[in-house]
Structure 1
Amino acid sequence: MQGISHPVARRYARALFEEARARGQAEAIDADVAVLHESFTTSRELARVFESPVIPREKKKKIIETLFAGRLQPLTVRFLELLVEKERESLLPAVVAAYRALQDEEQGIIEAQVRTAFPLDEAGAQPLVAKLERLTGKKIRLRLQQDPSLIGGVVVRVGDTVYDGSVRQQLTALRERLRRSVTLGNGSNQS
């Protein structure tokens, strides 16, 4: 699956995003994209169908009609058919991801990837969300991941910035300070 950084996927996503807003259908198309995201997330087989160059375009269009006509807005169905016609259907998961990134940008939402040594429930995450929102000035959506190798604490990535408050990092820093002080101590004794 292509990432949201794929330039062609971003262009298609932006085209759908702008057309939805120009037609006053932003909410409806946003909801359609959520349905597509859910469909591709829950059905790896569906994603494989659209990624496959062996499956004929007409069959892919028929799948779109069967699965999505009546469920999605006509603009969204036509957009899916256009991707198939232009032989860009393999980019569909990336287009969906890029569209969702545009939605987040419009709404001032950024995603924070949070790794913790132990499971973090919603109540435990709220103070972290509040602090990150104060720090960034944006709404935060957390993506939680458990990582026992951290020993304790938390590592947060927001965009390109990493906040590492893990016990593992603190131990590494302490080890480095000790190593430097031993090296400096040994160096001063040899003078």
Structure 2
Amino acid sequence: MATTVDARAIASTLYDALIGTAVEQLQLAAPKLAKVSDGELAKQIDAALPPQALPQVRNFLLGLAREGLLGQLDDIVTAFTAFASGAPEAALDAVVTSAVELSSAQQAKILAELKERYGTGVVVSFAVDPTLIGGLIIRVGDQVLDNSLRTRLSVLQRSMLAG
């Protein structure tokens, strides 16, 4: 009779084998699917996969194809590999939106502050939205810090209309 520790070790071995196989199959298929045409996607996916491919991998690729996301397969495989390797959930996305393009120094300062607060796994992208007038909107995961001038003016307007 296996102990809990033995059962976890055995389950871990199976998990590693399945995930490893899936990652390997996705990595092999990715270059072949980089420029697929819309016609007969299922045949193209089947041709890109080895004959013994996991049905879940084939279904996953079909789903990506239906959603028009096959072009992002390399990024998805990279993220999946990191996730499967047990790396800490590094994929904490942050978007910093400003009214004007931020300088490299400003971006570096914001990046350092976000990494200090959320850890080194935060991935930050910067966007420009001139309608903000000034200030920043920072979205990290499901948290939003809106310190834009547009929002502050809206709050002031609502306050004046209510009073």
Q: Does 1:103 align with 2:82?
A: yes
Displacement of 1:79 after TM fit? 9.7
- When normalised by structure 1's length, the TM-score is 0.52
The equivalent position to 1:114 in structure 2, one of 72, 76, 96, is 96
For residue 102 of structure 2, give the secondary structure of its aligned residue in structure 1.
Answer: coil
More helix per residue:
1
> What corresponds to 2:61 in structure 1?
89
Residue ranges of structure 2 left out of the alignment (5+ in a row): 1-14
TM-score (norm 2): 0.59
1:61 corresponds in structure 2 to: 46
Shift of the 18–177 alpha-carbon distance from structure 1 to 2, 3 Å rule, reads: farther
The offset of 1:136, in angstroms, is 2.1
Higher relative contact order (CA 8 A, sep 6+): 1
User: How many residue pairs end up in the alignment?
Assistant: 137
Q: Which residue in the other structure is 1:168 paired with? A: 150
Between the aligned partners of 2:101 and 2:138, the Cα distance in structure 1 is 14
Return the offset for 1:83: 5.2
Q: CA deviation at 1:89?
A: 2.6
What is the root-mean-square deviation of aligned Cα atoms in Å?
4.2
| Identity among equivalent pairs (%) | 19
Task: Return closer, same or farther for 1:16/1:178 CA change in 2, 3 Å cut-off.
Answer: farther
CA contact (8 A) 1:111 1:158 kept: yes
After TM superposition, the structure 1 = structure 2 runs for residues 1-191 of structure 1, keeping only pairs within 5 Å, are 19-20=19-20, 32=27, 36=30, 46=36, 49=37, 52=38, 55=40, 57-62=42-47, 64=48, 78=50, 81-82=53-54, 86-92=58-64, 93=69, 96=73, 97=76, 100=79, 103=82, 106-109=87-90, 110-180=92-162, 183=163
State the secondary structure of the residue aligned to 1:119: coil
Gaps of 5+ in 1: 1-14, 65-76, 184-191
